[in-house]
Amino acid sequence: MRPFVLEKRRNSTNLYVRFYNPSLKKYMTRRSTGTSDQFEALRLAFKWLENDKRPETKRPKKTASIPSISKENFFYNLYSAELSMEDAKKIITFLESKNFISNVIYKDSNSDITVKEFLTNFWDYDKSPYIKQKKERGHAIHKRHIISTNAYIQKHWIALFGDRPIGSIVRKDLDTLLAKLTEENLAGQTKNKIIRAGTIAFRWAFAEGLIDHDCSIGFTYCALNTKKRQILTTEQVQKIMSLEWKDDSAKLASKIAMTTGMRCGEILALTEKSIGKDKIYVEKNWAREDGLKVPKNGETREVKLLPEIRKELLRLAEENPYTEGPRFIFYSSVDYKPVEPRYWIVSLRDACKRAGIENYKEIDFHSWRHYFTTLMRQSISPEVLRKATGHKSDKMLNLYSDHTLESDFEHISTAVEQVFGEIVK
């Protein structure tokens, strides 16, 4: 029920106010506001209501007193009233208009879900509606990424905010989390990954209407001082390739990565069917958590295969003892899985150490991809090189690089033979 109403009398231009008396459950006698201006009449009526004062009158005998609406009566009536959710929302709207409250969470609403429950479900590979949406729209999302993100959620987000409703998380909470991560002396990139593990989920919740605000708006992430990846010089490469390695297959894997720029998972996924006459068909990627999937950017490609390396690959493929399954060239003791790539890194660093390379611990298998790209950029254009490496960095360039022209492959082949031909002999 409205606290008052404005009315006009037949023989007067002024507006009159009638206040509602909740005890009597009726509107009381009219009181003149002394003005015909509706805005001024409303202002005066609200003033009387707020101050609980009687307006002065020239004819007190013919008027009734303004009902007493003291704070005590107001709160008594409020506590004793049977309010519906709609009534509660009206009260909330009034308090919000007075800037007394913000980020209201209604009981049993979507915003009332705990951070622990929401984020655990959000990053569940099999149950997450977010992951389902990504898959339906053709986006690649790997289990390895989900596992590492879940670790961030459990260790940092749930530990700090686990029992709070998701609707209560605001930007200030992100500042609190960042300060805590800074105390742990984590790198800027790591801190950003941890914070984004949560903000991605909350941004999605806001877009889906689960919460009424996006806590990440206006938040400043850490500046990145990424350490430059270490790569070998050509002289160092010649030294390590001239050595006997503890594991010949690990040396072969390094040769492939060095001369093709292929990723570790792409080499692990190789089978005899991947080997062409003078090229490798890069159609799959292997990840321990996901198994066989398409390459990182969702596109297949062809890379130049040197004759010497082709012979070694086919010889290793013949040694595969399994008759069923994918029959990986770099097979392991299990028929449906390739070898563990950590052995490749161990063998590579051992060769680097024996070759007298001081920073051998900073060299990893992915360094080969950087080495290949660095050398090949001196011989071919970036547009052609991206077709060999599978890199996607320029949006417009992507539109024109859906297919590898035969002329491009010949250009890449010539450059690979010139740059790596002597090294692998």
Q: Which of 55-59, 250-254, 351-355 has the lowest mean pLDDT?
A: 55-59
Q: What's the rounded mean pLDDT across residues 30-47?
A: 83
The span from the CA of 191 to the CA of 197, in Å, is 10
The two beta strands, 279-282 and 301-304, are antiparallel
Give me the pLDDT at residue 56, please: 44
Higher pLDDT pick, 2 / 222 = 222
In this model, does residue 104 exceed pLDDT 70? Answer: no
Q: What's the rounded mean pLDDT across residues 319-328?
A: 90
Give me the pLDDT at residue 408, please: 53
Give me the pLDDT at residue 123, please: 95
Give me the pLDDT at residue 34, please: 87
Phi/psi-derived region of residue 398, left when phi > 0, alpha when psi is between -120 and 50, beta in every other case: alpha
Give the pLDDT band of residue 87 (cuts 50, 70, 90). confident
- The answer to whether residues 202 and 211 touch, using CB atoms and an 8 Å cutoff, is yes
pLDDT tens per residue across span 159-169: 999 999 998 89
In this model, does residue 33 exceed pLDDT 90? Answer: no
Q: What's the rounded mean pLDDT across residues 291-315?
A: 88
Give me the pLDDT at residue 192, please: 95
Higher pLDDT pick, 81 / 101 = 81
In this model, does residue 130 exceed pLDDT 70? Answer: yes
- The answer to whether residues 126 and 271 touch, using CB atoms and an 8 Å cutoff, is no
Give me the pLDDT at residue 395, please: 40
First-to-final CA distance of the chain: 93
- The answer to whether residues 33 and 14 touch, using CB atoms and an 8 Å cutoff, is yes
Give me the pLDDT at residue 10, please: 79
In this model, does residue 88 exceed pLDDT 80? Answer: no
Give me the pLDDT at residue 198, please: 96
- For the ranges 14-18, 286-290, 353-357, 409-413, the maximum mean pLDDT occurs at 353-357
The span from the CA of 345 to the CA of 39, in Å, is 79
Of all residues in the chain, the percent with pLDDT exceeding 70 is 81
Higher pLDDT pick, 420 / 58 = 420
SS3 202: helix
Give me the pLDDT at residue 67, please: 54
pLDDT, averaged across the chain: 82
Q: What's the rounded mean pLDDT across residues 334-355?
A: 93
Give me the pLDDT at residue 22, please: 77
Give the pLDDT band of residue 105 (cuts 50, 70, 90). low
Q: Walk me through the domains of the chain, giving residue ranges and CATH numbers.
A: 4-75 (no CATH), 110-207 (1.10.150), 234-420 (1.10.443.10)
Higher pLDDT pick, 189 / 409 = 189
Give me the pLDDT at residue 309, please: 94
Give me the pLDDT at residue 55, please: 46
Give me the pLDDT at residue 155, please: 95
The span from the CA of 102 to the CA of 105, in Å, is 9
Q: What's the rounded mean pLDDT across residues 88-95?
A: 76
Of all residues in the chain, the percent with pLDDT exceeding 90 is 42
Give the pLDDT band of residue 100 (cuts 50, 70, 90). confident
